[in-house]
Amino acid sequence: MKWLVLLGLMALSECIVIIPLTKMKTMGEILSENNLLNIFMKEHTYRLSQTSTGNSNITSLPMRNFLDLIYVGNITIGTPPQEFRVVIDTGSSDLWVSSIFCTSPACYKHNTFKYNESSTYRPTQETFNIIYGSGIIKGLLAYDTIRIGDLVITDQPFGLSLEEYGFESAPFDDILGLNYPRMSAIGAIPIFDNLKKQGVISEPVFAFYLSKCRGKDSVVMFGGVDKAYYMGELKWVPLTQAGDWRVNMDHISMKRNVIACSGGCHAVLDTGTSLIQGLTSLVNNIQRLIRATPHGFKHYISCFAINILPSLIFTINGINYPVPARAYIFKDSQGHCFTTFRGGTEQDNISETWVLGEVFLRLYFSVFDQGNDRVGLAQAV
């Protein structure tokens, strides 16, 4: 998960929304300028719920959308259940929650797990350390019962934080990772793998429908796919290698000209990232092509360009996936428009890689098939 999310001075819309943590500005700065989180949380309550898809083998967990930037769902931990708001992240593998023993300022601002109130809690003395793009978590490994919608996982390992840095103003409590076990920072079996192991789901598949602000409710579904959320057929793409939601991408083009990934590259499908992220030099070239002007951490552009700029085409496994200007340009509450491209993947010290976050995944219903080590994409409704 790379929290390179765009948070401008955005106006609240009529959909249910939530504020993301941002690397461009600290959340403290954003909230002090706008007081958006307090306003939103007072006006919009949210309780754990689940939906039926008509297929008894599929469990769907609703998520709420903050300004097309990040999506949060609710889970419970313990017996009786204690509720937490989590970012459901395909870029990481671990679940952690704040402990009542945590003394960091962030822990006082979020729901904390009260282990002494859970009859199914099992402690350990194993320590962990997780480093994210915007913060660090340190704590102890523990076990308890986790509920996601009507799915129940018993004796699930998870992290109990004792120290949290960089999460002081995050509007979610925790992170739930859905990547492969080899990506686990705490060395524990991830929740999705335990869902398979314990026979809780019939198919080793989960899928995301990330709505636009005024669209259908966003959902993550486990154990199958609901065809009501996409059009046409799913196009399957094998993973580069089993163990990460990374695929080979053919190239990136605009107006039939290849502008990046010219010799092929990697693409990571990451629900924990709101942007499209790539090598800084290539991203800067795209910004120049569309005549975006840098200012601070963002590149601004005339709002009139939304109607005239061409789509950016991501070609994956021979299939073109257009991202139109209306998707890759955002408007802030001051009426200024800015792009959703960011550099920085060269820091991973691997070959050319692009992170396709929610800007891309809002357009394309995404299926993560761990049983066959592949992902499926189709146009979202």
- Distances 228 to 71, 268, 360 between C-alpha atoms, Å: 20, 25, 19
In angstroms, the CA 375 to CA 381 distance is 18
Neighbours of 206 (CB within 10 A): 25
Q: Are 65 and 17 in contact (CB under 8 A)?
A: yes
Residue of 94, 173, 250, 270 with catalytic role: 270
In angstroms, the CA 181 to CA 117 distance is 29
In angstroms, the CA 139 to CA 101 distance is 10
Amino acid in the structure at residue 26? T
Residue carrying structure tokens 């010219």:
262
In angstroms, the CA 133 to CA 355 distance is 13
State the Cα torsion 230-233-238-243 to the nearest 10°: 30
In angstroms, the CA 300 to CA 175 distance is 31
In angstroms, the CA 103 to CA 135 distance is 16
Two tokens, residue 53: 């898809």
In angstroms, the CA 260 to CA 239 distance is 20
In angstroms, the CA 280 to CA 259 distance is 13
Q: Are 17 and 70 in contact (CB under 8 A)?
A: no
**Known catalytic residue at 270:** yes
**Known catalytic residue at 89:** yes
Neighbours of 247 (CB within 10 A): 19
Contacting residues for 171 by C-beta, under 8 A, at least 6 apart? 18, 19, 20, 21, 27, 37, 41, 66, 72, 85
Burial environment of residue 330 by CB neighbours within 10 A (0 to 12, 13 to 18, 19 or more): buried
Two tokens, residue 170: 């995050």
Neighbours of 257 (CB within 10 A): 9
Amino acid in the structure at residue 24? M
Residue of 68, 89, 173, 193 with catalytic role: 89
Q: Active-site residue numbers?
A: 89, 270
